[in-house]
Amino acid sequence: MNVPFLDFTRLAAKEREVMLAAFERVHASGRYILGAEVEAFEAGFAAFAGAPHAVGCASGTDALTLALRALGVLPGDDVLTVSMTCAPTATAIVNAGARPVFVDVDPVSLTMDPDRLGEALTPRTRAVLPVHLYGRPAPMEAISAFARERGLLVVEDCAQAHGARLAGRNVGSYGDAAAWSFYPTKNLGALGDGGLVTVRERSVAGRLRRLRMYGYTARNDAVETGFNSRLDELQAAILRVRLARLAEGNRRRSCLAARYDAALAGLPGFEPPPRPAPGAEPCHHLYVVRSARRDALRERLLGRGIGSDVHYPVAVHQQPAFSAFPRGPLPATERAVAEVLSLPLYPGLSDAEAEAVAAAVREETTALAG
Ligand SMILES: Cc1ncc(COP(=O)(O)O)c(C=O)c1O
């Protein structure tokens, strides 16, 4: 059985009518930038995330940059973050004028290790930026406590975590701000780029609205230099349709993940998926397993028609643009990037496909071990 890693066309067929209606509504409205659709989506997303304010913008990368800028991070400041993520997490810090300082992840959960934060502090540290990787919440209680004791800001990278919860609270509600991506592959994806920042403080929300639109308080009144980082009306209308179906999609992801968990348990030579922090309820953005023979396993799966992907084959600090930024030892990160393998996981995947993937993983892992 051929199983693609991701197949958007399955969803396209199911949502055709509602998407066309959303398109027609925007087209007929004559308003294409920052209008009623963006406002309605922001309100809907704020309610979903349990956040007082939500401000849409052009991408998840911009959401992180805008959040840092709006909270007052300045050029020359340091931001503690992880290298076990994709480059935009660190790019956004640089775009805000600050410097990423990389700390290692916990070897089991693959999220920021709060015990590594102390040794990474510098005199210019202003903020901590953890990532809820693969939809698994980072240990926010420990991270927030660390930040609070030292007067640091906390910005959560929620690009992969729409609907994840920790200790009964939504991710994004722990930090001073949280950044969300609506890149098409995300649990809540647009038909293009989109992003959003959720924040607690009304004044920060106001500054975010200003920064996303040239620094304007009113038309032709730029009180600071900003960006052009707006969420389109069309993407907002599409995201409203998909937000209404997000919980259902997340439930399906959770069923598929449980199926994989059961089918892959106890496989020799094969590590179970990274375990989330205690009390975490992941939203199963990606189903990631680990194998010391990752590349060979991936090749063998491909030979059987099973798609997979690697998130991420290189850590951020191993990429040329980021190799000169400060970092402590990153052994857990460097080991993880050599071993992680993402299996197909999306709401349109059938039970039979998930069973076929799991059976192929079992057989090929056993063959590689033998
Ligand atoms: C963890 C993480 N942070 C940031 C981003 C950046 O989001 P975007 O592609 O919308 O700019 C992504 C997604 O691509 C991501 O997965």
Ligand 1: does its nearest atom lie under 6 Å from the Cβ of 86?
A: yes
Name the residue with the closest Cα to ligand 1, atom 2: 159
Instruction: Give the mutation target among 181, 185, 188, 197 for probing the ligand 1 site: most ligand atoms within 8 A of CB.
Output: 181
Ligand 1: does its nearest atom lie under 6 Å from the Cβ of 111?
A: no
Question: Cα dihedral sign for 218, 222, 228, 229?
Answer: negative
Q: Which atom of ligand 1 is nearest to the CA of 61?
A: 11
How, if at all, do strands 195-199 and 53-57 pair? antiparallel
Q: Determine the distance separating the centroid of ligand 1 and the alpha carbon of 181, expressed in angstroms.
A: 6
Q: HSE-up of 243 (CA within 13 Å, CB side)?
A: 19
Q: Which atom of ligand 1 is nearest to the CA of 62?
A: 11
- Do the beta carbons of residue 256 and residue 345 sit within 8 Å? yes
For residue 307, the model assigns a pLDDT of 98
Q: HSE-up of 270 (CA within 13 Å, CB side)?
A: 25
- Positions in the chain whose pLDDT score sits under 50: none
- pLDDT (tens digit per residue) in 65-77: 999 999 999 999 9
The structure tokens listed for 161 are 């975590």
The structure tokens listed for 69 are 């800028």
Q: Determine the distance separating the centroid of ligand 1 and the alpha carbon of 286, expressed in angstroms.
A: 14
For residue 269, the model assigns a pLDDT of 66
Name the residue with the closest Cα to ligand 1, atom 15: 159
Ligand 1: does its nearest atom lie under 6 Å from the Cβ of 65?
A: no
How, if at all, do strands 165-166 and 169-170 pair? antiparallel
Instruction: Give the mutation target among 64, 66, 86 for probing the ligand 1 site: most ligand atoms within 8 A of CB.
Output: 86
Count the residues in the chain.
370
Q: Determine the distance separating the centroid of ligand 1 and the alpha carbon of 242, expressed in angstroms.
A: 18
Q: Return d(Cα 201, Cα 181) in angstroms, integer.
A: 21
Three-state SS at 98: coil
For residue 272, the model assigns a pLDDT of 66
